[in-house]
Amino acid sequence: MVIKRSSMVALFVGLSLLAFGQSPSPARLGGEPSRWYLIKAEDEDTQPQHRGAYEFWVEQTGVLNGAMLLRTGNGRRPLYELQYDGSTLSFRQQPTGPRLVLKGVGDKFQGTWDSGLNLPLVLVRAWD
């Protein structure tokens, strides 16, 4: 994955804002991966058992990376076309599948799939 210089600047700004608690970010600059849960928006005030678990991290090269965590064992599936511009996070779970597009709102991300499926989703920091 190649990230343009302007994207790197936006990523750095977004990650810097996270350090000061002003914007959600899928990863922290350096350190351990941050874990997030993807849940239906209607379940946001609960801790539902049905959720997708993801981790995001920044490589030594400054590239944002991520994976979907599999429920069986300690498996991970890489995310495809992962992009974050400081306010919008998007990725695919499959190389040719639909793209999940989420906008940062407060300390979470809200959005849905670009396939036309009207399923409001929220990406929140893991609670366990």
DSSP the chain: ----HHHHHHHHHHHHHHHTTSS--S--SSSSPEEEEEEEGGGTTS--SS-EEEEEEE-TTS-EEEEEEPSSTT-EEE-EEEEE-SSEEEEESSTTSPEEEEEEETTEEEEEETTS----EEEEE---
pTM for this predicted structure:
0.73
Q: What is the pLDDT along the chain (128 residues), one digit of tens a residue?
A: 444 444 444 444 344 333 334 456 666 545 578 889 888 888 877 776 778 899 999 888 888 899 999 877 778 999 999 999 989 999 999 999 999 999 999 989 999 999 988 899 999 888 87
